[in-house]
Structure formats: structure tokens, C-alpha cells
Structure 1
């Protein structure tokens, strides 16, 4: 019976580890997209400033 409980715990742990990995991958992807948008925004602002000169 104890082995059965341990098996459930192991499965849950594996699921949560997978979930954490997915979350961190998503966070990295999100950060990358955000940084890219930020750079694009900065580049756009720089172009606007050059137009004003």
C-alpha cells in the first residue's frame, strides 16, 4: 500500500517538475518577445527623434 502512495507521489512530482519547466520556458520566451518589442520601440523612438532634427 505504501508503495502505491509513493508511486502517486512520484507521478505528481514528475508532473509538477514538467509544469515548472514549461513555465520557465514560457517565461523565457515571453521575456525574449518583450525585450524584442522594447528594442523595436526604442528604435522607433530614435527614428522619430532623427526626423525631428
Structure 2
């Protein structure tokens, strides 16, 4: 997943955006929730 690779590379802003986009496209609720939490976690780090 591209978001994970960007996160590993330290590009948290792009990773958060990609996690959020993936969440919008996720086919089921569990995956959507997981990806939304990942985006929120990175956004919190960017703000904090």
C-alpha cells in the first residue's frame, strides 16, 4: 500500500492523505475503520 510506504519514508502528510483516500474507497466497514484510524493517527502526529 502506497500510504504505508510513504509513512515508512517519513512523508506523513502524503501517507495520511492516502490512508484517508483508501478509507473512502474501502469495500467494508472494518477496513474503512482501520484506514481512518491510520489517517487520524498520522494527522495527530502532524498537528502535535
TM-score, normalised via structure 2 length: 0.43
Higher relative contact order (CA 8 A, sep 6+): 2
Of Structure 1 and Structure 2, the greater helix share is in 1
TM-score, normalised via structure 1 length: 0.39
Larger Rg: 1
